[in-house]
Amino acid sequence: MLVFGSVLLAFWLAARFPNLGPAGFRGAVLQMLCGVAAVRAVSGLTDAAMQSWPGAARLLVPFGIALPLLTYGFLTGLWVLRTIHRALSGVTP
């Protein structure tokens, strides 16, 4: 459900703010690489937080760490797709 929620948030952000994100292909690829790094960091950060934080603070891990990082990862993928679509259709940003 957390991954599905982050996908929905990414689609909503991309639809709500269509001018948000990089304008060129180089910036989109750089953002996507940062998004991949964020998604890869989810498991390590959540494991470290779960081990070091006391009881009730563990409830913040899914919504404070995993949801934003996953949302950013999916959003960067949408930015790359949008940039490719604009380049193929001849639309300038």
pTM of the model: 0.81
pLDDT per 10-residue tile (average), the chain, 93 residues: 93 92 88 88 78 74 84 92 88 64
Closest residue by Cα to residue 21 from 90, 91, 72, 69:
72
* C-alpha 9: how far from chain center: 9
Q: How high is the pLDDT of residue 10?
A: 95
Q: How high is the pLDDT of residue 5?
A: 93
- Mention every residue, 6+ apart, whose C-beta is less than 8 A from residue 32: 76, 77, 79, 80
